[in-house]
Amino acid sequence: MTSEIWPAEPVEALLGIEPISQTTTSSVVEVSVRSEHANAHGICHGGIMFLLADAAMGRASNTAAPSLASHAEIDFLAPVPVGSRLRATASMRINRRKLRIWDVAVTTVDADGSETVVAEFRGRTLEVAPK
């Protein structure tokens, strides 16, 4: 079941990250890689890909209940040139009481809609008591 998508958080808006979909077990966010997202090698900075994946995880996790990330790691598999469209798709793998484990695929999206995986992210979130 798709949940109402809340607006981009301030850091998402700053970087141009667009929320596409979110449920309690998955979400999708996208960004077009701009020159300001590039590192000294002229390709997308790994921190942008990490933040994009974290944003996807956070949207799904917080749709279920207020949550904070407790751990995350990423494997960068391919360079991403400026001008590319990136998509992060988060999927819940484990839900144990207040702990959730997420897998996030970061892909480039071509004009024809085909996707190529450029990074794999795994993260953990912990449910926190509401304020």
pLDDT tens per residue, range 55-81: 999 999 999 899 999 999 999 999 999
Average pLDDT on 90-114 reads 96
- As a whole number of angstroms, the distance between CA 31 and CA 29 comes to 7
pLDDT of residue 8: 83
Q: How confident is the model at residue 32 (pLDDT cuts 50, 70, 90)?
A: very high
Mean pLDDT within 83-108: 97
The DSSP output letter for 16 is: T
pLDDT for residue 4: 78
Distance CA 75, CA 118 (A): 9
All structural domains of the chain, each given as residue ranges with its CATH number in brackets, are: 10-127 (3.10.129.10)
